[in-house]
Structure 1
Amino acid sequence: MLIPIVIACLALLKPSYVAASPCPSDNGMTDEVRAAFVDQHNYYRSLIASGNAKNKNGGFAPKAARMLKVSYDCDVEVNAMEWLKTCTFGNNNVANRNQWGTNVHTLSLTSNNTEAAAESVKAWFNELYTIGVPQNNVFTPQLYQQGLGEYAQLAWQSSNKIGCAVTTCSNSYTAVACEYNPGGDAVFTTIYDIGDPCTTDEDCQCAGCVCSKDEALCIPPSTKVTTHKPTTTTVRTTTKPTTTTTTTTTEPTTTTEKPEFIVCPSDNGMTDEVRWMFVNTHNKLRSRTAQGKSKNAPRFGGFAPKAARMLKVSYDCAMEANMMKWAKQCHFYHPPPAYRNYWGQNIYMIGDPYYNFTWPSIAETAVISWWQELQVFGVPENNIVVAPDEHKTGHYMQVVWQWTYKIGCAINYCTKNKPWPWTIAGCNYYPSGDNAYWVVYEMGDPCTTDADCKCADCICSKDEALCIPPQYVPLPPTTTSTTTPKPTTTTTVPPLNAGSCPGLNNGMTDEVRKTFVDKHNEYRSLIAKGQAKDKVGQFAPKAARMLKVNYDCAVEENAMEWAKSCTFGLNTAAMLKRWGNNMQMLSPKTNNKTEAAIASVDAWFGQLQKNSVPEKNVFTMDNYMTLSKYSQLAWQSSSRIGCVVVPCWNSWTVVVCEYNPGGDLPGEVIYDEGDPCTKDADCQCSGCICSRDEALCIAP
């Protein structure tokens, strides 16, 4: 078997950008870069205004009562560019810049001006975390000398027009500057008025201003804001323009009426079951984290802190389309931020050796692998990660980023750009997260009332410990309702079958089929009774509700269709149905299919004897290459099997069994531990009968 490849990749997540007004195109600047400057400024101003900006001096910077939303000014840009191109940084006096304020930043040489813009504005904002502001919010000469001037100018309440420039100096570094009209940093003056942010236009206390309640900003009359017509059936939001002619969507476009369900296209390879798995796994892990049940890495110990106001995420079709467009290009790296509308992004790949992973399983595995960075690398007690990339927790941070409430995901099978077939999975996130110096989420006991959520029209889901935002819309109901599959996945359950398929003429015999059933049940019974030995001479724990398997001819048909070509590529039909898979290759070739069946099931069970039972009997990715065949054989709910034996390449015999429903779900127990059933009620499944002698439950 090939060495497995399971890798996750995280985008450098940038806040969503608001468009800038059009400016001349002959000075090296582009509308995308201008949009980055505008939206980065408004992103941080909104964060400050809502009281979520972490302050070095303790707690958070005070809320802003009347923070203005900035827009772009071409005249200010012209002035900034004229000065910046001198690369002197010493003669931009107040007169030269018309009494406008200015911020400057230099960084390593780069040709990506959009990234330079984002990095520079973030650096200015981060002065709040490294230096801090007093609670009276007054800008003083001492704060200027300490280096807080750039933050103060970025956050200056009345500075509502900006113009910025990016240039290369001496072919050795990149310089960035923004000028502000009107200027800020007036000593002994408050950076902004302290108080709860606006909820009505009157709260802004400026003529013609409009309160943007969601942003906690006041939009002055000089700021032009346009909106798109709705293009999807997802939730209602306002789309922000990126230019006057072409708009790049940041917040997903939506209808004004909230639909009953999110309905996405059915022609792109995704299914509602896969979408449901992405959403459900995110929310399950966000809920677990919010309740303080997420184990932290050993270096920090204990558990990640509880989350006071963790939002529940829902699905977005436009975000899925964007993710699928990129996934189909089969690149295991992130597209430019503009390509993905400045949404956050996590991606993941899995190599072809994991041939038995269904797409719902891949979705679940991807999200769990991102989240498990917490257990490996951990987060500090203050829940702030200064450098997510260096700390290696960026994927985890995006999965549980408090303010993210929309995701769109995709999975695609790739046969290019790698030396082997592989599968890519990824999710886009709005709003994006993973920002350095920010709390991943607000710490505290989770909500018990709607008021605890502290967001307009949010509803507290007490059982989940999540706040449901008003934009939340569920996906349509699917046959999957929990992460642990039920004993069957169809509404019509076939009768019990000990191994007979009279309608199939594919080389299999009922004798071979019965052998597969009997061997599976022999080992499942041994496990359930607590008589299955592992590597260290101990016994696997008893199984309280192990189901007895029976044969399924439809599952066999699918296994034969996949196995007979001897290519063993993507098993699409099984993946979409969420069936599991075990395979064994026997050499030399044998014509005795009954013996091949016995040898294969023995080998799968034998993984237990070569390894140890996983901790708490929970299957993880760490166990995949060493224990996954045993765990699928022993998976409690996998009650229907279909198996085949086929010759391949004139020298091998290949044995395949598929399981309905599939197992090997990362983070789930292989089976429920406990004394095996003694009466039907112990099975805890409708219509099940306890076979006391076998220690198995017989599903109807």
Structure 2
Amino acid sequence: MLALVALLLVITKPSSETAFGCNLNDVTDEEREQALSYHNDLRSQLALGSLDYYEASWGPAANMYQLTWSCSLEQTVSNAIQGCPSSPSVPEEYGLNVQIWTLTTPSNFLLESLAVWQSQYADSTPTNVVDSKIPDFAQMINAKTLTVACSKQKCSDTLAIAACIYDQPRLKEGDEIFEEGAACSSNADCTTYTPATCNSTSGLCAVEVSTTTPPTGAAATTTPSSGAGATATPPNAHPNPAINQICPANGHMNDRIRTRALDMINYRRSQLANGLVQKFNGNYLPKAGNMVQLKYDCSLENSADTHAKTCSRTNSNAAADIGETIKNADVSTTVTTRVEGMGEAVKVWWRKIKTETVSIGMAVTFKSQHVNAPIRTFTTLAWATTTRIGCGVEKCNGFFFIVCHYQPRGNIVNSVIYQTGEPCTRCPSGAACATPLCVL
């Protein structure tokens, strides 16, 4: 436990007189500084490969980001632990570490709670994926986390609770915690969120919340709603703005859901363009020469999200020029969050090409018999000239209602789903090629 004790000693006193500006009194600014420094010191040691426990070393880690404190998250976690509940909960888009103290409560039980969570690493072989021994430690070093907040409550002489909340969903067993690789030495090494600044001494990347962009890949394939580029950026409606940069005016959704939809569908469109998608009979569909890379559209999200909130389980009365797919995903052990619900929906929509016998032929033409057939969800996602997508997800009573809208819409009877040919050989005029997709 030498490394753990050393870390506790280092941060017992705050490193600076930071004014956090939070209005709650559950923790002091000194305790906020201690908790924040504890996390960042731990992340720095991991990034630099100097987090040791006897003969075992954790790290190094690439793309490890320095955390900042969120007063809005502090309010959320403070509300969650009022009255010292045995199982506090927070919205699904956040991760939560909880430590309950009974009988004897240390004088600084928030700091001691951090040490308890970190101590899990002593019982685990160094790894960059979550295992059952390090659930709370993994939250502390999750490389994609940008903001944190902690709170505490002493409910009696023999009962107290401390908790920290993180702006990423709680990692599950098997999830990647961090990217193995050298710590950053220049700004160019910080690629998960940009723009970012590398502190080569700590090995951590730093990003301002107000300028945070989605992870690389999503940023290049997203766009604001029509006309947004000519107007001022709307105020961010999400309590944690760092995870709501794509469509900041909609606080009901977040970028993790958006990028899950966008990345999964574009990946499948890439597979189709490369001729790697099989039908139910084992035959491969032909390659696509004009498959466009989708971008995210906030106006489409608004219409999709509005319908998702109805929990109706049925299609909406979307405008005639908008395509739509819906999915009712039951809450289960594998679908516990809206992000997972979104991913499950995409899989189900696309999987129809493998399971349905009323399918499209090798001429890839959409015909009248497809209009109401299950294959229509695959063809909606695969329609080459569709360029924009927006989605909404609502957690209803025991299920997630997932809705995605598309423009220009597909599923036009007697029209081809895509033009066959080598990838990018039939792209629209003015398009670039990011093989195998056309980029507008």
Q: Same fold (TM over 0.5)?
A: no
- TM value normalised by structure 2: 0.42
Structure whose alpha-carbon radius of gyration is higher: 1
